[in-house]
Structures are given as C-alpha cells and as structure tokens.
Amino acid sequence: MKNDQPKYRAAAYGGGNWSPRMASHRDEIGFLWGECGINAEWTRLQSVLLHPPGPELTAQDDPESAQLLEIPSWELARQQHDAIAQAYREVDVTVHYVEPEGVPSPNQIFCADLFFMTPEGAILARPASIVRAGEERWIARRLADLGIPILRTLRGNAIFEGADAHWLDEHTVLIGRGLRTNGEAIAQITNVLSEMNVEVIAVDLPIGTMHLMGILRFLAQDLALAWPYRLAWRAVEALRKRGYQIIYIPDEAESTHGGALNFVTLGPREILLAAGNPITQDFLESQGVICHTVEVAELHKAAGGIGCLTGILKREL
C-alpha cells in the first residue's frame, strides 16, 4: 500500500519509526562485535590467539637472517606449541588460531607482538624489523573474522610491538620505548587510549632488551615480578603508586636461558610457566602462585617464550 505521508516523516529520514543507536561502542562488544577486551594483566584469562609453527622454521640455514637464536626442529616445536594450547584449554581458555595463506614468516608464531588489546578492541602493531613486516596483516584478517574491532592501525614511521605495552590498571598503560617501539608509535597509541580516559606512561628500555615483557610480568592486582637492573625507575614508581609489591627474579640464568620470566598469567596468582625452571618455580610458589608448567625449550630457539607466543584476546573485565 502506498505511503502518502511526507518523506521527512519516514523512518529513513528520522520520522517516528526511526530507531536510534543508543549503546556505546564498548557496550556493543560481545553483542554486535566479537568477545574481546582487557584492562589488566592479571585477571582471569578467557581467550587467546596462537599461530602454530611449521616448516618455515627450518627453511633457512642462517638463524640470524630470520632473527632466530638457533634453527629449531619444527616438528618438536609444533608438539610443544600444541601442548601450550592444550594447557590453555585445560583451564577453560578458548584458543583461536591465525593461519596465513602461503608460507608464513618464521616469527608469525609470536602473536603477542602483533597487536595490543584494549577494552574496546585491538590496536594493530607495526613490527620494527623488515623480517617481520606484514605479519600484522594476517592478524588483522583473523581479528576481523572473529568480529573484533581494530581501533587503530599505526602509520607513518611508527614502529610498535604489543609485547612492549602492559596494563597497570584500568586507567594506565605502561609502554616501553626501545628497539621495537618508538616515540611516534607511543604518540599514536596515546591518542587512542586518551579517548578511553587511559593514561600512557612511557619508559625507556635498556640495550639488549627485546620487549618490556622481558623484564616485567604481573601475578596479581598487587604483585609484579621484574628483572632488577633493567626495569626503569619511572616504571617502579608507577607500579608502587598503584599498590604493587615488586618482587624480583630469583635466578638470572633461568630467565635468560629458560624463559622463566616469559610466562602467561592465567588469573590472580596462577600462571603458565616454562618447565625446567625449578628455582623460579619454587620462589613463585613460596609467594602463593600456582604454576602450571609446559615444556617449550625447542620454541625458545626461535627467540621467544610462552608470553611472546600468546596473543591475549580477552580477560575478565
């Protein structure tokens, strides 16, 4: 039947049947958008993004050319990676995978470097080395498949890897400036986070440090584990101001060679830790931390550990 009402009264033009969108973007996460978001490093882990290693790990003779420490056995590395995924599933963490077309970069396995999650969606990283350039494209594609919003793709000469950024609390993010993240990236990330009323604190990383993740991890709302001599004093002040007790690695060799500091926090005082680090495990258990362990020695040859391998999609907010 023909509608004889004036056009301006039609719903399409804001008439009486117009249906305004009232919810905020954050309110639509998990409803219109996919489940995602974090604003703390210690709350209950709910979903992660992983990339399984393959023959690309052994496709070169010179590990330096791919920024690996040694050439791993990709079959053994795959077995250990599968064990990490199973360890997550055993504590009710949902595991998603990114699987690029063609032959991926050997470093694609390090998903933590390729994005930084906020309560409203992801900030896409821009890796610092030409060896890893373009890995973020596949992360962007997978995030889109999962319905997760991408709030910002870094541009210009910004370089940033997600392992350089940590949530201190829901209003504060700590970012390390160094080999993998520069000031231009920090400025762009600050612009995004300021719209969420989140402060960014930038701290410099020393020579020989790959990421902030390599010197600082979180165990609970009031407990952080750090590497002495490497963590900037400004970061220590920021942590103490927000009520953290800072404890320090008990054995440098285990952190250097065993990935003892490269763990993932599953929830308050509960972590997934690389096996073979008895001094660190005993120390953390003395602090009331539950340690689930998994063998990752072959994966360490690729210059990363459990934390580097794990892209955090969602924690309990």
The domain that contains 40 carries what CATH number?
A: 3.75.10.10
Checking if the pLDDT of 168 tops 90, the result is yes
Q: Is 3 within a domain?
A: no
pLDDT tens readout for residues 133-160: 999 999 999 999 999 999 999 999 999 9
Mean pLDDT of the 37-61 span: 95
Mean pLDDT of the 61-82 span: 93
pLDDT of residue 59: 84
Q: What is the domain range of residue 88?
A: 33-315
Checking if the pLDDT of 2 tops 90, the result is no
Query: What token pair was written down for 204?
Result: 């410099």
Query: What token pair was written down for 123?
Result: 């900030």
> Which range has the worst mean pLDDT, 54-68, 84-98, 226-240, 248-262?
54-68
Average pLDDT, the chain: 96
pLDDT of residue 3: 63
Q: Is 6 within a domain?
A: no
Q: Is 196 within a domain?
A: yes
Checking if the pLDDT of 121 tops 50, the result is yes
Cα angle 117, 119, 124 (rounded to 5 degrees) comes to 30
User: What is the number of domains present in the chain?
Assistant: 1
Checking if the pLDDT of 52 tops 80, the result is yes
For 274, the enclosing helix (H) or strand (E) is: strand 270-274
Mean pLDDT of the 2-24 span: 86
Checking if the pLDDT of 20 tops 60, the result is yes
* Cα separations in angstroms, 309 against 6, 49, 64, 84, 166: 59, 9, 19, 9, 16
What pLDDT band is residue 1 in, cutting at 50, 70 and 90?
very low
Q: Is 28 within a domain?
A: no
Mean pLDDT of the 174-195 span: 98
Mean pLDDT of the 247-257 span: 97
Q: Is 13 within a domain?
A: no
pLDDT of residue 173: 98
Main-chain phi, psi angles of 171, to 5 degrees: -115, 5
Number of other residues whose CB lies within 10 A of the CB of residue 220: 20
Checking if the pLDDT of 33 tops 70, the result is yes
Q: Is 253 within a domain?
A: yes
What pLDDT band is residue 8 in, cutting at 50, 70 and 90?
confident
pLDDT of residue 243: 98
Q: Which position has the token pair 């319905």?
A: 147
Mean pLDDT of the 15-40 span: 95
Q: Where are the beta strands (DSSP E) in 1-156?
A: 45-50, 94-97, 115-118, 121-124, 150-153
Mean pLDDT of the 115-119 span: 98
Q: Is 24 within a domain?
A: no
Mean pLDDT of the 214-230 span: 97
Q: Is 12 within a domain?
A: no
CA dihedral 158, 162, 163, 166 (to 10 degrees): 110
